[in-house]
Structures are given as C-alpha cells and as structure tokens.
Amino acid sequence: MSDQQSKAIAKSLVPEYIRELKIYQAGKPVDELAREKGLTKITKLASNENPLGPSPFAIKEMTTGLWNLHQYPDMHAYKLKSALSKLYSLKMENIILGNGSEGIMAYIARAFIGPGDEVLTSENTFIGFYIIARSVGAELKMVPLTNDYRFNIDKLIQGITEKTKVIYIANPNNPTGTYIKKEEFDKLMTKVPNNVLVVLDEAYFEFAKAFQDYPDSMDYRYDNVLTLRTFSKAYGLSGIRVGYGFGNENLITNLSKVKLPFEPNLIAQLGATSALNDSPHLERTLKNNEKLHTKTFDFLTEKKFKPIKSITNFITWKTGSEEASNFLFQELLNRGVILRPLKANEMPDYVRVSIGTKEEMNHFYEAMNEVLPMYDKKYGRVEL
Ligand SMILES: Cc1ncc(COP(=O)(O)O)c(C=O)c1O
C-alpha cells in the first residue's frame, strides 16, 4: 500500500478534530540530557514535582506490594477511598479515582462532553485540559487572564452561552500560580446555570489551603461542581499516576460508567493510601516549599525580574520575548538546570521554575548568577 493510500485510510477513519491535535511534547529525559551535555549534575525544575520524593512509608508499602502484581487491583479501591473519605468527611460514593487527575479529566470528557459542546476556560492555563476537551470534539472558548494573571471571573460569566457544557478552572492556576478568591468563586456560582458543569482543578491544593481567601471546594456543596486533586504534586507520586475527584453522587456514578475498571493500579492504590497517612512527610514538603519559594521569589526580585505572586510550588516570570526565554532556558540547561519555557501555554515571553530542595535551588541561583551578565547585555529587563 502506498503512503498516500494509507494516509487516505487514516483520514477516513479519524475525525477531523483528532487529526488536528498535536502530540504532547514531554521534556527531555534527564539521562539523555546528561549524556548529550556531558553533565554530572542535573537539577530538574520543570514539572512542579515534589523534590523530597515520595513518602518513605509509601515506598515501603509499594515495594511489598510488588509481590502481588500477578493479581488485579481492587476495582473499588476500598482502602484508598476510605482514607480519602475519612480525611475529608465524605461518602465513598462522592469519590472517583483515576490515572492522575488527567485520567479523570479524560473520563469527564468521555461522560459529559460531545462534538459541538462548548468548553469555557481561560487562556494560559493547564494545556492538558485543552487537549482532552478537543479530543472529544468540543469547541474550546478561552477568555484572557486578568492583568494580574488570574482567571477572569467576569469574562468567564460573559462567555457562558446555551452551548456551554463545562467551565474549567485551575485553582491555583498553572503556569501562573495565581488563584481566584472565595468571593470570586461565589460570584461565578451565582451566574452558572445548573446544567453547566464546573470543573475545579485543585492540583496544587495542599500548597494553597493555608491562604485565608482561597476557596477550598470541600467547603461547598454544589451539585454541578467537580473537584480534581492529585498525588502528583505535594504527595510526590507523579510516577504512579493517581488523582481523585469529588462531586455529587449522580455525577460520580456516571463518570464511573466510563472509567477503566482497574485504575488506579495496585501499586498506585497502595502508594497513595500510605502517602495520605504520612502527614509528617506532607508537612516537610510544605515547609521546604514555603522557605525556598520565598527565597527564590526574593532572588528573582533582587535580580530585577518581576515574578508573578504564586501560592504553589513554582514561580513564573516575564523575560519579555521568546528569544530571551529560550536563551535563559538553553544557558541554564548547559549548566544542568532544567526550567520550563512557556511557549506551549501561549506565554513564550515567560519562564517557570519549580521549587526544589535547598541544594537544587542553590544550583539554580548559581547558574542564574553565571548567565545573567550575558543575559543582561542581550535583553536587559522589561516593564511588566
Ligand atoms: C493544573 C494541573 N492540573 C493537572 C495536572 C496533572 O496532574 P496529574 O499528574 O494528576 O495528572 C497538572 C500537572 O502539571 C497541573 O498543573
């Protein structure tokens, strides 16, 4: 068969909205980078992971669990759901689990969204959700962020139409680290029709919860709100892919119908359950982040950048141009520090750094101190 014929077959089989999607580009693996650049020390500050790693108890439980890998996992994930329901005083019927919170986003798309439905969200937010919504043929409607880089609630309210099916809000937002406040969430909910689903993505909840005006969605009981959270960030378990969602029982039941039965897998269930029970590890994580977040924010400010105020485990700042972002990214890469340039989030003139350990952040500060004299000559600073 000729290439042309096989392309024609794919074209007839694959809906246009899938053909138009772009394949997700992950960052370069650390080992590959080390080989290519001849580096011995690599500090990855690009994916907002927990620099302290997983809870030691979770590692122990998961290691023991390896002996049971010939068996299917508990499809009801009883232990993990019980631990979550105890922690948040919820019924098990209100909880859905999945392969990361992105796994649950995929269930949401499968269960609730179809071709032609409108999904309303913001520009410059988590691109995983854009891809998932487009993969089921949804029409993405995006409103700009506010001038201070936050979800613009007034613009979202104005954007609601009869076709709106889902409103997606990342709170706090990635890649800006900003958040909508309680009063803004209340205002939005007075305007959202009951037949529109609000997906509140709280991937960075654990970092944000100490802020008084942050709306912890557990304090609300709306029948059309689904909250998503994850073990990938503060719990340090990105590698095993576990996320959880809370919502009214009728929504959760319908999501469960399209869920793959044995997600999360056996090891993931064990790891997540023990991570939830290891609150000292979570405390250490939050303390490390708090201290080094402030230090890194001050470092960037001292260097005359204007970092965006973030309540998460990452900080984003403006470089002023895509070229300046790429320069910073490449020069830090040459010194073994991996940042995240934000072109994919339509913020090519910004870069993001995740908060690591003290040693990792020292590596970042040193590399920045080496690079900045060159950077200054080429680009200087921009006004925000
Ligand atoms: C806002 C937001 N939501 C969801 C995710 C994905 O999380 P998970 O690993 O649970 O799929 C991320 C990961 O970076 C994120 O930043």
What pTM did the predictor assign?
0.95
End-to-end CA, the chain: 56
Strands (E) across 207-312 are located at 225-230, 243-246
In this structure, the dihedral spanned by the alpha carbons of residues 350, 355, 358 and 359, taken in order and rounded to 10 degrees, is: -60
**Confidence (pLDDT) at 22:** 82
Rounded-to-integer distance, Cα 98 and Cα 104, Å? 5
- Would you call 278 helix, strand, or coil by DSSP? coil
CA 47 – ligand 1 centroid, Å: 9
Nearest Cα to Cα of residue 145 among 117, 113, 118, 177: 177
Span 289-309, average pLDDT: 97
Rounded-to-integer distance, Cα 105 and Cα 86, Å? 24
Q: How confident is the model at residue 383 (pLDDT cuts 50, 70, 90)?
A: low
pLDDT single digits (tens) 6-33 = 888 888 899 888 888 888 776 677 888 8
232 CA: nearest ligand 1 atom: 9
Neighbours of 257 (CB within 10 A): 9
Rounded-to-integer distance, Cα 283 and Cα 314, Å? 17
Residue 376 has pLDDT above 70, yes or no: yes
CATH of domain 15-52+280-378: 3.90.1150.10
In this structure, the dihedral spanned by the alpha carbons of residues 55, 61, 62 and 64, taken in order and rounded to 10 degrees, is: 150
**Confidence (pLDDT) at 27:** 67
Neighbours of 316 (CB within 10 A): 25
Span 247-257, average pLDDT: 96
Nearest Cα to Cα of residue 255 among 268, 267, 273, 243: 243
CA 286 – ligand 1 centroid, Å: 18
Q: Does domain 56-278 have CATH number 3.40.30.10?
A: no
114, 273 Cβ separation under 8 angstroms: no
**Confidence (pLDDT) at 24:** 77
% pLDDT > 70, the chain: 98
pLDDT single digits (tens) 69-80 = 999 999 999 999
**29-353-198 Cα angle (round to 5):** 95
**Confidence (pLDDT) at 221:** 85
**Confidence (pLDDT) at 32:** 84
Select from 121, 232, 352 the residue to mutate for testing ligand 1; criterion: most ligand atoms less than 8 Å from CB.
Answer: 232
pLDDT single digits (tens) 101-120 = 999 999 999 999 999 999 99
Can you say how many angstroms the Cα of residue 82 is from the centroid of all Cα atoms in its chain? 25
Instruction: Name the residue ranges covered by the structural domains of the chain.
Output: 15-52+280-378, 56-278
What secondary structure letter does DSSP report for 311?
Answer: S
CA 383 – ligand 1 centroid, Å: 31
Q: Which residues sit with their C-beta closer than 6 Å to ligand 1?
A: 48, 100-102, 126, 128, 170, 174, 201, 203, 230, 232, 238, 243
126 CA: nearest ligand 1 atom: 1
**Confidence (pLDDT) at 185:** 97
Rounded-to-integer distance, Cα 290 and Cα 260, Å? 37
Nearest Cα to Cα of residue 218 among 311, 98, 85: 85
**Confidence (pLDDT) at 291:** 98
Rounded-to-integer distance, Cα 366 and Cα 299, Å? 11
Take atom 16 of ligand 1 and give the residue whose Cα is closest.
Answer: 174
**Confidence (pLDDT) at 7:** 84
pLDDT single digits (tens) 167-196 = 999 999 999 999 999 999 999 999 999 999
CA 240 – ligand 1 centroid, Å: 13
